Structures are given as structure tokens and as C-alpha cells.
Amino acid sequence: QSLKIGLIPADGIGKEVIPAARRVLEAIGSDIPKPEFVPLLAGWEVFVRDGTALPEETVEALRECDGALFGAVSSPSRRVTGYSSPIVALRKELDLYANVRPVISVSANPDDKPAVDLVVVRENTECLYVKQEQLVHSENGREARAIRLITERASRRIGKMAFEIALSRPRKQVTIVHKSNVLTITDGLFRETIRQIPSESNGRYDSVKLEEQIVDSAVYRLFREPQIYDVMVAPNLYGDILSDAAAALVGSLGLVPSVNAGDKFVMGEPVHGSAPDIEGKGIANPIAAIRSAALMLRHLGYAAPAHRIDRAVDQVIREGQVLTPDLGGKSSTDDVLNAVLKKL
């Protein structure tokens, strides 16, 4: 028996951090079935070469895998004919409807509670990311419009995921993040649907405390008193922004992992992008990718080895001797990888 894992480094530092995560998975030993890695293509470079950012073979191969790791794509900020972000497409193709992003600070003393310990649960398939944009010409000149899709079905399943995650955590608190004071219909549906979940759950979520917060003040309070949050559940765009913002609280985007999870498949993915400013320098922080591998294992049911990886990473951060420049250190990607491997 083996654990078949698709590897999609894609662009930029994705190609530097995904190999590091692979090395860590290889070093786990008999706690998991022997990993078998399937290298796969996607991204901007592939698009420039072959005219498609997500080759059909990649999607087909992933359907045969137990899990996957995705690096990052260099999506251009301008519109390019024929190009569409492969990560957004993959989330849809594989129905990876939840993006789960734990943001945890490492305390100086291993016995202390971390100052920040929260999970952003981001809806991954709809909201403005359905990308139904339109440019029309009106008396105001060019006018751009976008559809924002919120469905009851997607809101319910992301809400349930948030409640399930809360159940597994000591504080058991879910905060719905929305803007339903302004967007009463779309965010209103998101909020209403999630608020109803406890009463439809036969008591399963009775121990979970349900809170809510308007998105702008949620960001404000996140910066002033991050400890008030446990599990934050949000529509796609707010969740995207919230999790990058939360990453600033723990020192670097280079530390924050995520998984894209559906009912049948899970794909780990560092929250950061392809970081063109440091690409090719060998100084990308591999920790977000390594933690994403651990999070993937956790979602596949291998909690113990996931925990071992997280502890090894925490020790390296806590000791502070081997850190990449984003954390104020002078070490390389490989130095950090080797330090983590040694702790393992």
C-alpha cells in the first residue's frame, strides 16, 4: 500500500518550497504508507509554453491520487486571453469547497498558549471568484460588472466544515464574517444559512459557541485582539483577505499553510503566492509548504505524523537559529529544510 500524492509546484517559489515539503514527507517513515509522488504541471509558465494553465492530464492524474500539494501560480494582474488561474479551476474541478487556513503563532516557551491560534475557513467555490465579469459601454464610459454568487448549498457545507473544525478545538467557537448589513441578500443568505446549522444538527453542535462579526470590524479586531477568534468562517473574497491579514500577525506569509478540502480529496497549498521578488534566490521560507503537507496528512487521517512535523517546525522557529530573511534570519530554504529534517 502506498500514499499517492500529486505534486504541482507550478511557478516561482512554488518550485522551491514544494520539493522541500516532499523531502519532509519522505522523512516521516513508517507512520504513513510509503509516499508515491506524481509530478504534475500547471501554472503561468505552462500556459506560456503550451497555451493552457491547467493541462487535462493534471486533473485526470489528481483524480487517481490520495492527496496533493500545490505551490503557487504567477497569475498576471491584467487580463490575458485564454488564461485562467489553475488553482481556482482545480478547486472547482475537484470540488474542493473549503479552504482551511490555520494561523498559529509560536510562543517563546513551548508551555505557553500561542498569542494567535485561529483558523480561517474560507468558502472556495463561489462569491466573486465565479469570475463572471463583464465590460459594457454606458453613458458613464466603460462600466465593469461582476456577479457575486452565494448559494445555500455552499454556505451550508462550508458552515458545517467550520462547526466540525470548532468541535475539534478546545474553544469551540465559530465566528461568521459577513457584510449583511449592506449586502443583505448575498451575505444575508450566507449568514442565515450558517446560523441555522446548529438547530438542524440533532445537538451535535450544542457545545459550539456561535458569534458573528461584520468583515471590516472583524479585520480591525483581528489586529487588536486576535485572541478573541477561534474559527472564522467567511465567503471566498473576505476569507482570502482575512487569512493574508492574519498571516501578518504571526510574522510572515511564509509560515501559513492551507488545505483545499472537499468530501473526497484534499490538496495542501501554502497561503503565499509565487513571490517573484525573491524567486530563484534560494531564500523562500519552506515552512508554509511543509506545514501544508502536515495539514494534508491530518485531513487524510494521519494526525500523529502531522503533529510530529508541526512540532519539528515549531522547534526550529523557537530556537531562532535557522530562519529565512522574511523572519529576520540569514538562512536559505535548504538550511531551514535541513533543520526541520534534523528535528524530525
**Contact set with ligand NAI (CB under 6 A):** 13, 17, 72-75, 87, 253-254, 272-278, 284-285, 288, 324, 326
Catalytic residue, from 179, 205, 314, 326: name it.
179
| Least Å from the CB of residue 208 to ligand NAI | 29
Cell readout for 338 is 535541513
Cβ 341 to ligand NAI, closest distance in Å? 18
Q: Report the nearest approach of Mg ion to the CB of residue 272 (Å).
A: 8
Instruction: Compare residues 155 and 332 and give the one whose CB is closer to ligand NAI.
Output: 332
Closest-approach residue to ligand NAI (CB): 273
The entry of Mg ion, ligand NAI, none near residue 278 (CB within 5 to 8 angstroms by kind) is ligand NAI
Residue with cell 534566490: 281
Choose the one of Mg ion, ligand NAI, none that binds residue 240, judging by a C-beta under 5 to 8 angstroms depending on kind.
Answer: Mg ion
Active site residue 334: no
CA distances from 39 to 48, 122, 225, 285 (A): 19, 27, 42, 21
Annotated catalytic residue, options 66, 83, 92, 244: 244
Mention every residue, 6+ apart, whose C-beta is less than 8 A from residue 189.
150, 151, 152, 155
Say if CB 17 and CB 252 are below 8 A apart: no
Answer yes or no: 244 catalytic.
yes
Query: Is 179 labeled as catalytic in the residue annotation?
Result: yes
Which does residue 74 bind out of ligand NAI, Mg ion, none, counting CB within 5 to 8 angstroms by kind? ligand NAI
How many whole angstroms separate alpha carbon 286 and alpha carbon 281? 13
Q: What SS3 state is found at 232?
A: strand
Q: Catalytic residue among 31, 50, 216, 263, which?
A: 216
Among candidate residues 11, 187, 230, 240, the one labeled active-site is 240
Smallest separation (angstroms) from ligand NAI to the CB of 270: 6
| Placement of cell 438547530 in the chain | 199
CB atoms within 10 A of CB 86: 27
When computed from its CA atoms, the radius of gyration of the chain, rounded to whole angstroms, is 20
Residue 98's binding partner out of Mg ion, ligand NAI, none, with CB under 5 to 8 Å set by partner kind: none
User: Whole-angstrom distance between the N-terminal and C-terminal Cα of the chain?
Assistant: 23
Q: Tell me which residues are annotated as active site.
A: 129, 179, 216, 240, 244
